[in-house]
Amino acid sequence: MDMRKPDWLRAKLPTSPEYKAVREIVDNNDLHTVCKSAQCPNMGECWSRGTATVMILGNICTRSCTFCAIQTGRPTELDMGEPARVAESIARMNLKHAVITSVARDDLKDGGASVWAATIRAVHHRMPECAVEVLTADFRGQQEYLDLVLDACPDIFNHNLETVKRLQRPIRKTARYDRSLWVLEHAKSRGFITKSGIMLGIGEKEQEIKEVLKDMLKVGVDVLTIGQYLQPSKQHAAIDRWVTPDEFARWKKYALEIGFGACESGPMIRSSYHAEEQSDMFDVRARRHRMLAEQAEQKKEALTKV
């Protein structure tokens, strides 16, 4: 296989004033972004549009997935000022849609769920009209900690399956296919818009792609993203093939035909690419306001029974 990137994967160097402004906010507020940590090919485009995907809970992951560029090892102590700092930075960027992700924190009893919840609430408080999309780990399948995050009412809940079932163990060593499906199913059962994504070009077969998409639909996933796997280093999983734009277009057509509400599919697509368009499509802010009102009513009823 020719390892040289095809022309359709070559990103333009960022030079816009908007890119520089976002970079300044990120640097000055000691923020971690998945854009930089995961070597996202869309960083220049997204930052030039004034958007960035903020990464909380540090920048060192407790897992060592063979597709991922994020550093692994022993994480630093929790930064309890992070939720407020993230919210203020999002306000300074004046975002209509904020995407927040994190490293996996298996060293913490709650997997970082309490910080997740505090961050979501801080953004809602600081920027009520900003939609908050979260891309979380699986919290080791522990419902009480997943519910901590969901109780904070993110507008879109994203958890990526990353690849087909057969390749889960070699690609996502600590994750589990069925557990990830359960995470998505539970979020859906709570009434949230759910989202997931996979990479192509890592050794999957066509029938396996169809199977993982159908498995996502069975648990109610609304939004799908499909992108090209890019090898971060020679120590990571090898690229099996370069997937053409035409094939990505075919997968988008297939996904929409079988029932996904929205699909972004292309060589450069990553989880948060054009995410703000999806929040508008599903009217997520109105859904959140209804959820928060229902929560308040339930608390009121519980107090009257005491």
* CATH number of the domain bearing residue 18: 3.20.20.70
In a domain, 5, yes or no: no
Counting Cα atoms < 13 Å in the Cβ hemisphere of 295 gives 12
In a domain, 3, yes or no: no
Q: How many structural domains comprise the chain?
A: 1
In a domain, 70, yes or no: yes
In a domain, 252, yes or no: yes
In a domain, 1, yes or no: no
Torsion sign, CA atoms 247, 226, 166, 4: positive
The edge-to-edge listing of strands for the beta sheet with 53-56 is 32-33, 53-56, 97-102, 131-135, 156-158, 193-200, 223-228, 262-265
User: What is the extent of the structural domain holding 204?
Assistant: 10-305
Rg (CA), the chain: 19
- 136 and 101 Cβ atoms separated by less than 8 Å: yes
In a domain, 282, yes or no: yes
Cβ contacts of residue 153 below 8 Å, gap of 6+? 120, 124, 288, 291, 292, 295
pLDDT in tens, the chain (306 residues): 666 788 888 766 666 677 677 677 777 766 666 555 445 666 656 655 656 688 899 888 888 777 787 778 888 888 899 999 999 988 988 888 889 999 889 999 999 999 999 999 999 999 999 999 999 999 999 999 999 999 999 999 999 999 999 999 999 988 999 999 999 999 999 999 999 999 999 999 999 999 999 999 999 999 999 999 988 788 888 899 999 999 999 999 999 999 999 999 999 898 877 788 888 889 898 889 899 999 888 888 888 876
